[in-house]
Structure 1
């Protein structure tokens, strides 16, 4: 929630339209709900502040709705940031080539900041569970095209057979 200085707080409270006492008489309707579908505080709900004389006022409905929309946007941004951080983590693990499946290493934010910590975590995981390591064969394994020592001359073969 944003911090307000005294002047801003006074301006906000002056712009309110109902007092707590006036709002309690209008509570016969259903409770309002915010963008999440959960019931939110109605204008007459107690805000947790001490009650006093006529100086107790509530925020306007439009101001509260604006704050709720702003909070919802921040929650969405935080969710997107978490998703992107997890995708980055998987990409960094895959770039090392040490694991067969990059999602085998659990997400940790410290892996994003320090490549040495990421390398140590991968090494520890491979030592603990060697079956998760990447199994890429290297060198001559007896498959694929093989270079031969001599070349084949088809014209020479045909001449030798013609005689």
Structure 2
């Protein structure tokens, strides 16, 4: 019953290439690409000390790369903040080209502010009635009474 179903599926599916071969992984007549050395199932081809040394060295390089990425991200954020054009410097996505070429960073900020102007820094302005408002004469109660009398 299962053979009939398999034959029907294969014969109905015309998308399969003509040179498709079905291989059984249990048979050894076609060989195995999983094991480069035939006949050895022992996965320890290098001395254990050497493998541990390579893994430690690789871990050290991965940690350095991760530290470099973090530093580059912090530098990018600091450079964007130094322009003073964005309210939140993290709004500009990280790009390594911005660190290398400052003109590309300026162009990217311009493009971002053109599409999203609400991300620009805002400078408060106007008089809210507090603080130093100019030179004024000293307060005089008699001058106030004279102004109110007239």
| TM-score with structure 1 setting the length | 0.56
Which residue of 2 is the match for residue 60 of structure 1? 47
1:159 to 1:131, Cα distance in 2 relative to 1, 3 A: closer
Report the alpha carbon displacement of residue 48 of structure 1 after superposing the two structures with TM. 5.9
Of 77, 95, 115, the residue aligned with 2:102 is 115
- Give unpaired runs (5+ residues) of structure 2: 1-33, 144-150
Any idea what the Cα deviations from partners look like across 1:117-143, whole Å, max 9, x if unmatched?
1001000000011111111135xx103
Separation (CA, whole Å) in 1 of partners of 2:35 and 2:66: 30
Larger Rg: 2
Separation (CA, whole Å) in 2 of partners of 1:70 and 1:48: 26
Larger RCO of the pair (alpha carbons < 8 Å, separation 6+): 1
Separation (CA, whole Å) in 2 of partners of 1:105 and 1:159: 61
Matches within 5 A, 1:7-156: 50=37, 58-138=45-125, 141-143=126-128, 144-152=130-138
1:151 to 1:108, Cα distance in 2 relative to 1, 3 A: same
Aligned pair count reads: 106
Aligned CA-pair RMSD? 2.8
- Give unpaired runs (5+ residues) of structure 1: 1-46
Any idea what the Cα deviations from partners look like across 1:91-121, whole Å, max 9, x if unmatched?
1111111111111111100000111110010
Report the alpha carbon displacement of residue 147 of structure 1 after superposing the two structures with TM. 3.3
